[in-house]
Amino acid sequence: MNGNEIECSFTNIGESTVTQSDVYMDIYVNDERISFGTVSTPIAPGSSSWLRTSPADLPFQFTVTCIIDARDNLVESNENNNQASATLTYSRGCPYATTPDFVSAQEEMGLGCARSSAHSLTATWQPFTQGVMIWREDTNKIYVLINWGASTAIIPPGQWRAYDNEWIDGMPEYACVEAEKQAELGTPVHFGFGYLWCNESYMQVDIGEPLGDESGDDRWFQQFDNGWIMHIGEWDDSIVVVSDDGYWALFPR
């Protein structure tokens, strides 16, 4: 999809050339047929072709279904592979489409247009009694997200703040006695999170005690005009939304 232009493509995966000239393709948006037409023939084995349409009005998110040989004019060895569907978003002038999992959160939080394609991003996170810390590899910043209703000295409840990651290789793994004590209990605060937790004024008051160990790997991420969204599987398969207006929220995936 490019703008409001929908393209349905197909490939002849059989062993014979399609010679008939009246091979139809239908294109549906949700349950409404919006376009149909014949495709160019002959179609040699392994060859591909397409049909395009540009509807005047599309919903923000919709399902497009493409059906080749829609009038059943061809005799085929397999009649069950002529249809494909996909859920798409109409960006209405935005440079990138929003990945379907993020659409509801994007609209509710007012994030504006996507400014990148959804992609994998290395991130680390750790839950605390009054929030969570997230480190993003691309920015090398630590994002401190405070729970709604938490008692905090610096960051208001339901809001977040970003800090530079000041821990570098060669520094002690644990930055303070409190972190070492936590490590003994099986819930350490170390490396970049521990350095921030130990050295930033009121951080231990703001975010509280660790609820679990630090963990991380590649996560699905997308940047928007007014914030970003990341999939965090460890939070009940949730999506975390961080808005540029200082607020954050969790959404079900």
Can you tell me the distance from the alpha carbon of 241 to that of 243, in angstroms, rounded to the nearest whole number?
6
Structure tokens that stand for 243 in this block: 């808005």
The SS3 call for residue 62 is strand
CB-based contact 123:136 (threshold 8 Å):
yes
> Taking each helix axis from N to C terminus, what angle separates 191-199 and 177-184, rounded to the nearest 10 degrees?
130
Structure tokens that stand for 206 in this block: 């703001």
pLDDT in tens, 207-250: 999 988 888 888 999 999 999 999 986 655 789 999 999 999 98
Band of residue 21 on the pLDDT scale cut at 50, 70, 90: low
pLDDT in tens, 54-101: 886 777 678 999 999 988 888 888 889 999 998 877 656 677 888 888
pLDDT in tens, 193-218: 999 999 998 999 999 999 888 888 88
Q: Where would I find the H helices in the chain?
A: 103-109, 177-184, 191-199, 203-207
Q: In the predicted model, is pLDDT for residue 165 greater than 60?
A: yes
Q: Tell how far CA 222 is from the center of its chain.
A: 5
CATH class of 6-90: mainly beta
Mean per-residue pLDDT for 106-131? 90
Can you tell me the distance from the alpha carbon of 194 to that of 229, in angstroms, rounded to the nearest whole number?
24
Q: CATH 2.60.40.10 residue ranges in the chain?
A: 6-90
Give me the pLDDT at residue 90, please: 66
H or E element, residue 72? none
